Amino acid sequence: MFHKSSNSGVALITVIFIVALVSSLATAMLTRLAKDIRRSEYNRHQGQLVHFMYGVESWAIGRLKKDKQNDARQGAIDHNKEVWKDKITLALVDNKANIEANLDDLQGKYNLNNLADKTASATNKKSLFNSHVKYFNRLLVTLEIDTRIADSIIDWLDQDNQVRFPHGAEDSEYLSKTPPYRAANRKLVSFSELNLIKGVTPKIIEQLREHVSILPKSTKINVNTASKEVLIALSPLLNSGSVENIIEQRKTTPFKTTKEFVDLVKKLTKKTKLEPANLQQLLSVNSEYFICESKIIMKKAKMSFKSLINRDKNSIIIIGRQRGIF
């Protein structure tokens, strides 16, 4: 009797154990399933966000195409009142997706990779390089940023290993860091790369971002779209007052040629000689590089995109993309 009761007790415990095991396995499986469902839903939304981003890029390319058609009739200039300078806000799929996007040019900013042409051997290129160095120093003064970073940024870009006097930095500086690294000795690729350069702080990068760009090749400054700060730095002859005058005039009469711009500088500053003498070589009245920035939200998934667009005589193409969280 005692033996039988003991057996049923063991059987009962075994049954309870199995039930508990099965239920905990079932709970684990259900939790995992719920996670998988959420993950696949998230991935589906991420995929949809990317498709919306392609749609935004098509919109931007359409704007640039339209401007190109207008330019064919009116002259190839790019200014802030043209169709490409645009933004959109859209609510799609019964308000389940929201898109904000804007298209802007990048030659109204100063391209830091213009400082990479130091090794150019032709005399006029050397003097052009010197004008770029002086320009960048003036821009830093205008933006109230420590001008010592000009030397270290140029050393980061140039192909030699000689430290630029007095504030430059080459491998010897960066190899002593933990972890050690080398100077890039080539054109910049992204803003985050600036964090690696001696003297450049996150605060400086934020200050620069509004007025400088990083483009794959040297470019000219579009005087029709350049910011006030970018214009002031063009010449020691210019100041806040004369540049405000220039900006006021270009609102009604955008510059059709760079000569029109330098003639106006001469007139406003009452000078016959330009400073720098080769100022006109730094300038353009149109842009080849544009940026389309978008923020796309779909339920809980959201993403920001930056698409770099190159427009030349023959084509309009996306040459770079960056995605981030906002």
Interface with Ca ion in residues 231-290 (CB under 5 A): none
Q: Is 86 in the site for Ca ion (CB under 5 A)?
A: no
Q: Name the residue nearer to Ca ion (CB basis): 155 or 288.
A: 155
One of 65, 66, 71, 301 touching Ca ion (CB under 5 A): 71
Q: Token pair of 189, please?
A: 């690729």
Instruction: Extract the runs of DSSP E, i.e. beta strands, from the chain.
Output: 86-92, 97-105, 110-111, 212-213, 221-222, 283-284, 289-298, 301-311, 316-324
**Residue 105 makes contact with Ca ion by CB under 5 A:** no
Q: Which is nearer to Ca ion, 86 or 158 (CB)?
A: 158
The residue assigned the tokens 């300038």 is 283
Measured in degrees and rounded to the nearest 5, phi and psi for residue 153 equal: -70, -40
Q: Count the site residues for Ca ion by CB under 5 A.
A: 8
Compute the least distance from the CB of residue 222 to Ca ion, in Å: 10
| DSSP states of 138-202 | HHHHHTT--TTHHHHHHHHHSSS-PPPTTT---HHHHTTSSS------S----GGGGGGSTT--H
User: Of 70-78, 89-97, 202-210, 212-220, which part binds Ca ion (CB under 5 A)?
Assistant: 70-78
CB of 274 to Ca ion, least distance (A): 26
Is residue 67 involved in binding Ca ion (CB under 5 A)? yes
Closest contact distance (angstroms) between CB of 324 and Ca ion is 29
How many degrees, rounded to 5, is the angle at CA 112 between CA 76 and CA 157? 135
Asked whether position 78 contacts Ca ion by CB under 5 A, the answer is: yes
Phi and psi angles of residue 171, each rounded to the nearest 5 degrees, phi first? -50, -40
Give the interface segment with Ca ion, choosing from 81-89, 191-199, 226-234, 276-284 (CB under 5 A): 81-89
Least gap, CB of 71 to Ca ion (angstroms): 4
* Alpha-carbon distances of 97 from 48, 298, 299, 302, rounded to whole Å: 10, 4, 7, 9
Shortest spacing between CB 144 and Ca ion, in angstroms: 26
Residue 155 in the binding site for Ca ion (CB under 5 A): yes
- Indicate which single residue of 86, 105, 151, 158 sits in contact with Ca ion (rule: CB under 5 A): 158
- Closest contact distance (angstroms) between CB of 40 and Ca ion is 45
Residues of the shown chain interacting with Ca ion in the complex, contacts defined by CB under 5 A = 67, 71, 78, 82, 155, 158, 160, 162
